[in-house]
Structures are given as structure tokens and as C-alpha cells.
Amino acid sequence: MLLFVGLGNPGRQYQANRHNIGFMAIDAIARQWRFAPFRARFQGRVSEGQIGAERALALMPETFMNESGRAVQEAARFYKIALSDIIVFHDELDLEPGKCRVKIGGGNAGHNGLRSITAQCGNDYKRVRLGIGHPGDKALVHSYVLNDFARSEEGWVSALCDASARNADVLAKGDDATFQNRVHLAMEAAGFAQVKKPGEK
């Protein structure tokens, strides 16, 4: 079984935050692959389903971002899921908005959700980095990620989550390069090859 994890903060007030794009991607995957309804378990919300040939558990931790690893570790231990079978979707400041990159292990780049998972489970899990862009000043990062996506951003956010969901079977097979390429082509086809941050001309 694979464990697909989306990172975010629970609660209506955080629902549309940039920091919650991981939750949005997991919601899109569960819809696309017709997973069972989400229910409360493992200090989060979980749903089971089939992605291509692979059984998968979708998890959205409800521990708040800084403690995401507790929920991931609990679910992985219960199902005996190896670290190499954990795939985490998260917001990435160091990628331009609308871009998607996959990597295994590496640094956590100051992301508290990743830091928590690494502390609880180990570092060599797969990360699907969903670009949200950088506000340009380190002092602005906290308010930037905890603010909602602007209305002008909703199109590319939806397109990125949908493209990730439609191609999740490729990711489940372990073909990360093809997954990245297909998401890129889908964004291009949807008119989001280049996305501007709010306020950019």
C-alpha cells in the first residue's frame, strides 16, 4: 500500500491558504480516483482507494503543520508502509507558481511539515513540490503562506491539483519524471505555462 499525504492546517480559516495546497491536491486525487469518503483516523482525515494498480491511503493530518509527522508515522506504522512508499504533497516557496517537481529525501527548506515528518519517520520519502512562488522577502514568508490564494490564482491552483490527480497513477508506479512532464504539459495546455504572483505585471 502507498501512503499519499497532503500537508496543510485543519479548519475552515486555513482552507484556501497557500500553505494548504497539499490538502487541495489530496482532495483532487481522492475525487479523481473515487476513493471512499474521508473519515477521522490517525490524528487526521483518511480515505482508501485504488490508484491504477496500487492500493493507496490518502491522509490529511489534522495536527497542524508543525506536527504533521505524528499522523504520518501513526498511519505508516499501522499499515506497515515503508518510508519509500510515502508520497507527500506540499507547498514549495522555491518553485515558481504552478510548477511541480518530485524528489526523494534532501533538505526540508524550512518547511515545518516536512521537518516534522523527517523527525518522526526518516528523511527518504518522496516529496511532490507544488510551486507557490516566494514573496521576495524572507520576513514576508509567514504571512504569505498563511494568506489565501488570490482570486487571480485560483485557475492555476485548480489546474495544478487536477493535473496531479489525473496523473497520480504514473506517480504510484514510481515514474516520477513522466509524472512531472505530464503535469507540465497539462499546465501548458491549460494556459498556465507561466504564472505571475499577485501584484506582478
Catalytic positions are 19
**Residue owning grid cell 499501522:** 78
The four Cα atoms 162, 97, 15, 129 give a dihedral, to 10 degrees, of: 70
Q: State the cell numbers at 141.
A: 514568508
**How much of the chain is in helix, strand and coil states, percent to nearest 5?**
45, 20, 35
Write out the E strands in 14-160.
Answer: 39-41, 44-51, 54-61, 86-92, 100-104, 126-131
